[in-house]
Amino acid sequence: MRLLITGGAGFIGARLVRSLLAQGQLAGKPIGEIVIADQFAPPADLAQHPKVKALTGPLLAQCEGFSKTSFDGVFHLASAVSGECEADFDLGLRSNLDSTRALLDALRHGGHGPRVVFSSSIAVYGPDPAHPLPAVVDDDTLPCPQTSYGTHKLMCELMVADYTRKGYIDGRSARLMTVSVRPGKPNGAASSFFSGIIREPLAGVEAVCPVDAQVGHPVSSPGKTIEGLIRVFEAEREAYQGRSAMNLAGINITVAEMLAALEEVAGPKVRARVRFERDENIARIVDNWPKAAHSPRAARLGLKSDASYADIIRQYIADCRASGLADTALKGLS
Amino acid sequence: MRLLITGGAGFIGARLVRSLLAQGQLAGKPIGEIVIADQFAPPADLAQHPKVKALTGPLLAQCEGFSKTSFDGVFHLASAVSGECEADFDLGLRSNLDSTRALLDALRHGGHGPRVVFSSSIAVYGPDPAHPLPAVVDDDTLPCPQTSYGTHKLMCELMVADYTRKGYIDGRSARLMTVSVRPGKPNGAASSFFSGIIREPLAGVEAVCPVDAQVGHPVSSPGKTIEGLIRVFEAEREAYQGRSAMNLAGINITVAEMLAALEEVAGPKVRARVRFERDENIARIVDNWPKAAHSPRAARLGLKSDASYADIIRQYIADCRASGLADTALKGLS
């Protein structure tokens, strides 16, 4: 089968491509080609892989060409992040709404009705005076997004459902929990610190936490996130249940608990590299996000959350070692 | 103040313009000009009114010009109806989604932050295997639209909320119940028969009901619908509560009860002009709509539903007489 992964050069995208190449098949069918569409070139291991074809450039400009290619499956991960969308309203509309619309239209005009997984976000949820957020959001919670990013994600979920209803695609939307621990550098997402406060201390670098230690949030490891995307792709329609978006699994944790887990795994010296300095912009965005989530639909698909946050940190450390990055990424451990 | 009414030449739009002209003010400010933007020319009484300016053509093409006009208030009613959107997917996207986006961007670039009422619809609700419809939908019910029309209305509600959050407009979305009795001819809406089964028999014409007599649905008279739109416009943000869409008031009624009311008001001979002939296309769409609604937010704004459906029919008869249409529209009464 031929797959398209938008945002396939990003952290989650590249990791998904590696998982797919490693398993060699998807939904029981051998994978012949993976097309990565991303504004950046993919990492070298993927760029050089014989089964990978990389298309580099803005997604919006690439979409017309997609209608001429027969894709069997699509993972649509490309997205501007929350902070970028708040800073540049037009960029958000273009990158998240217009690009998704163009992608869906290209797949529709392609006429092959490919299976499509759209990566949505827990950021669709937010409190509104008429609809306060419950203590724990679940698949039934009414989403009232409080950022442009969350707004566009929810609008795209609705398009995916309607293009699916019409038979143009076989789409399903999976709402990702905040992914932690992301490697690399901080990005423009307001949630970036949920990785930074673990990653930087492990690298021996001081980290600033912009919100209070009591802030709670549902998070998921990269591995569990990718497992969720693949499971949602492979699910039969009946098992997925209808066409509305579903939440992936996550663990509900506070910043204080994350730091306690860091100390448990890496010791008090590493933990001490995190200091608190409130950033009102970020704190305001995060304050409007769910404090915890429960994901009964994901559970029915057999998706489990990570066992513990300490486990997530240990996975991150193992990943750094496996990819030869220990010298810098884990410098703070020695 | 200068007002813009998109779809202002349509039935609800023209009636809204007449109400506004009659009351002479809105939210306590005198109305200086009403701009009607519609693909059709407005009725003669409005076209000739000194305070009315009519712009005739596709909304999408008109929007750029709107950024150069300073509007104090906007009622955005223009829309392709449900049946049209099901028949022509691109027309639905263009008329309902693209036009609303272009309108909101024009108002945003105009920089005056006008108050905007977007007329959404009860058609945003629908059953999904993961989210069956409750017996009675209310403001908290999760909308899972099952038509392109409902999908686009919900997407536009989300845009209105986000443009409002950013301060580009002062927007609010009101979900209209199905309006009954609409005068004139049947239109492309799947809900058209909810008026036809009353209007045609009163005009002495046979009517076909395409769904079973047991089908229930929330409906509202034209008068109560317009009262709702004006009230939502005039509400302070705190009274409107947040930025998410609210349901207008309606009465919950079955087709059988509508016909009983018709017999009560107009006699058995008129009632006998309705026969049942199931139309699978329409029945399938209607089957996915709410059977009943409850509107606590509208009630908190002081909006009440019509007293009874017999009352709605009596209003329709009085309206026909007042506008000199009794000879044809009420031909079946004599």
The verdict on a CB contact (< 8 Å) between A161 and B155 is no
Between helix B193-202 and helix B309-322 the angle, nearest 10°, is 60
**φ, ψ for residue A276, nearest 5 deg:** -100, 125
Q: In a mutagenesis test of the B interface, which of A82, A244, A247, A285 is the best target, namely the one with the most B β-carbons within 10 Å?
A: A244
Residues A120 and A263 occupy one common structural domain: no
Q: What is the mean pLDDT of residues B160-168?
A: 98
The answer to whether B311 and B251 are in contact (CB under 8 A) is no
Both A202 and A119 in a single domain?
no
User: Do B148 and B164 fall within a single domain?
Assistant: yes
Query: If you ran DSSP here, which 8-state letter would residue A166 be given?
Result: T
- For chain A, the farthest-separated pair of C-alpha atoms sits apart, in whole angstroms, at 58
Is residue B322 one of the residues assigned to a domain? Answer: yes
Q: Is the pLDDT of residue B39 over 80?
A: yes
Quote the percentage of chain B above a pLDDT of 70: 100
Percent of chain B past pLDDT 90, that is, above it, reads 93
Q: What is the pLDDT of residue A185?
A: 87
Q: Where does residue A302 fall: left (phi above 0), alpha (psi -120 to 50 degrees), or beta otherwise?
A: left
Mean pLDDT along residues B41-49? 97
Helix (H) or strand (E) holding A296: helix A296-300
Cα torsion for B281, B284, B290, B291, to the nearest 10°?
A: 100
Measured CA to CA, the distance from residue A220 to residue A224 in angstroms comes to 6
In this prediction, residue A190 has a pLDDT band, given cuts at 50, 70 and 90, of confident
Contact A128 B166 (CB under 8 A): no
C-beta separation of A231 from A248 below 8 A: no
Q: What average pLDDT does this structure show over B46-63?
A: 96
The answer to whether the CB of A274 falls within 8 A of the CB of A223 is: no
Coil, strand, or helix at residue A106?
helix
By annotation, the residues of B acting in catalysis are: 149
The shortest CB-CB distance from A297 to any of B130, B145, B146 is to: B130
Give A243's contacts in chain B (Cβ within 8 Å): 128, 144
Task: For strands A216-220 and A251-254, give the pairing.
Answer: antiparallel
3-state secondary structure at position A45 = helix
Q: What are the backbone angles phi and psi of residue A267, rounded to the nearest 5°?
A: 95, 165
Nearest CA distance, B145 vs chain A (angstrom): 8
Domain count, chain A: 2
CA gap B242, A131 in Å, rounded: 8
Same domain, B200 and B269: yes
Over residues B250-276, mean pLDDT: 97
Residues B14 and B120 in one domain: yes
Q: What is the pLDDT of residue A187?
A: 81
Residues B144 and B263 reside in one and the same domain = no
Q: Is the domain of A37 the same as that of A130?
A: yes
- Is residue B182 domain-resident? no
* Residues A91 and A102 both lie in one domain: yes
Question: What pLDDT is stored for residue B83 in this prediction?
Answer: 85
Query: What's the pLDDT at A83?
Result: 85
Identify the pLDDT of residue B82.
Answer: 86
pLDDT tens for each residue of A60-104? 999 989 999 999 999 999 999 888 999 999 999 999 999 999 999
What percent of chain A is predicted at pLDDT more than 70?
Answer: 100
pLDDT for residue A188 is more than 80: no
In 3D space, the residue among B56, B67, B52 whose CA is nearest the CA of residue B7 turns out to be B56
Those residues with Cβ within 8 angstroms of residue A213's Cβ, 6 or more apart along the chain or in another chain: A254, A255, A256, A259, A276
Closest-CA distance of chain A to residue B163, Å: 9
The mean per-residue pLDDT over the stretch B31-46 comes to 97
- Average confidence score pLDDT of chain B: 96
- Residue B139 belongs to a domain with what CATH number? 3.40.50.720
Q: Tell me the per-residue pLDDT of A262-286, one tens digit each, with 9 for 90 and over.
A: 999 999 999 999 999 999 989 988 8
Give B-chain residues touching A130 at CB under 8 angstroms. 139, 241-242, 244, 246, 297
In a domain, B267, yes or no: yes
| Residue B323, domain CATH | 3.90.25.10
pLDDT tens readout for residues B169-223: 999 999 999 999 999 888 878 889 999 999 999 999 999 999 999 999 999 999 9
The dihedral region occupied by A254, where left means phi > 0, alpha psi between -120 and 50, and beta the remainder, is beta
pTM over 0.90: yes
Structure tokens at B90: 């691109």
**A244 and B297: CB-CB below 8 Å?**
no
DSSP code at position B98: I
What are the residues whose beta carbons fall under 8 Å from the beta carbon of B61, sequence distance 6 or more?
A: none
Q: What is the CA radius of gyration of chain A?
A: 19
Interface test with A, best of B244, B246, B247 (most A CBs within 10 A): B244
pLDDT in tens, B114-156: 999 999 999 999 999 999 999 999 999 999 999 999 999 999 9
Taking residues A168-194, report their average pLDDT. 93
Q: Which domain holds residue B111?
A: 2-177+220-247
A182 in any annotated domain? no
pLDDT at B38: 98
The per-residue pLDDT for range A26-62, each reduced to its tens digit, is 999 999 999 999 999 999 999 999 999 999 999 999 9
Lookup result for tokens 């009794």 = B326
Q: Under an 8 Å CB criterion, which residues of B touch A?
A: 89, 101, 128-131, 139-142, 144-146, 148, 151, 154-155, 158-159, 161-162, 165-166, 238, 241-244, 246, 297
Is pLDDT of B285 > 90? no
Residue B76 has what pLDDT?
98
Work out the average pLDDT over A165-175.
98
Give residue B273's identity as a one-letter amino acid code: R
Q: What are phi and psi of B245, to 5 degrees?
A: -70, 150
Confidence grade of residue A123 (pLDDT, cut at 50, 70, 90): very high
Chain A and chain B share a number of CB contacts under 8 A equal to 79
C-alpha A211/C-alpha A283 separation (Å) is: 5
